[in-house]
Structure 1
Amino acid sequence: MDVELTVYLAGEIHSDWRDQIADGVDEFDLPVDLTGPVTDHDASDDCGIAILGTEENPFWKDHKGAKLNAMRTRTLIGEADLVVVRFGDKYKQWNAAFDAGYAAALGTPYIVMHPKEHTHALKEVDAEAMAVCETPEQVVAILRYITRGELTRPSPNLSIVR
């Protein structure tokens, strides 16, 4: 029997990792509904001033946008059965760490995906995760196992931590 999941894809927005997971979900026809943040960087940054009016002070511009994005994030993480949090190379993703913490506070299981060189910096985030991996392929293998009980052999970098 298939398990249906709503999975929130949190974190880094500068690469195609979400598309790779979506492609894998489609390839295996998994019963997974993927949700996530607005990934258009300009739209995410400017939503507050576009909707609520301009701000001369950059702090208030960011504040307005952060509040609107937080409403989306909190709603979708609250509705998720599972959260995948991706930490990329290009920027420090403080928002991703916050999303992982929010999922943990709600008791929503999460998977962390990041390169090996971030292991030490993310040790606390990793410690609360149900799995820590490096690739979208591994996330798809986890989703396939959770939803169908089908075991695949992803690359050997998967590390179950609990």
Structure 2
Amino acid sequence: MDVTFSTTFAKSLQVMQRQPALGLQLDLQIGDLTRLTNGQNPFWTLKSQYTDQAAQQLFKDVQQRLTRLQSAIASGDALRVWRSETAEDQLGFLWFCDQLKAVDVAVTQVKVPLDFACTVPTPSYQEFTGLGEMDPEQVLTWQLPETTVTLAER
């Protein structure tokens, strides 16, 4: 299963590869982590003010994604994490590794650069603020290295 910390990138990746992708957009760079298990945490009310979803629905959606991750881990599914150098991805990856620190499951990672030079159709330089802005089809053509995340690294 592919895992990313951007729901937008996960949805596009799933369509492109025709295999499961999980978007764990947990906003770990904001607030405390107890909110992941507490639907009454003020974070959910605050976040709902900037989305079209109610606080309870936001919490429920996150819980469903976390349950899906736990099911994949329990099944022993191989996990591939797509990440960049953003705070969201870095903190998400650290949280993810913490969840898997005692689990013997295959985990790999693909680090996606957020800036690069293009030559086609015309020479240019592109820079993105996160994976959600990128086209997974283009990213897949780069054939980025996929490296193992060992149990010791987790």
Q: TM-score range by the shorter chain?
A: 0.3 to 0.5
TM-score by length of 2: 0.43
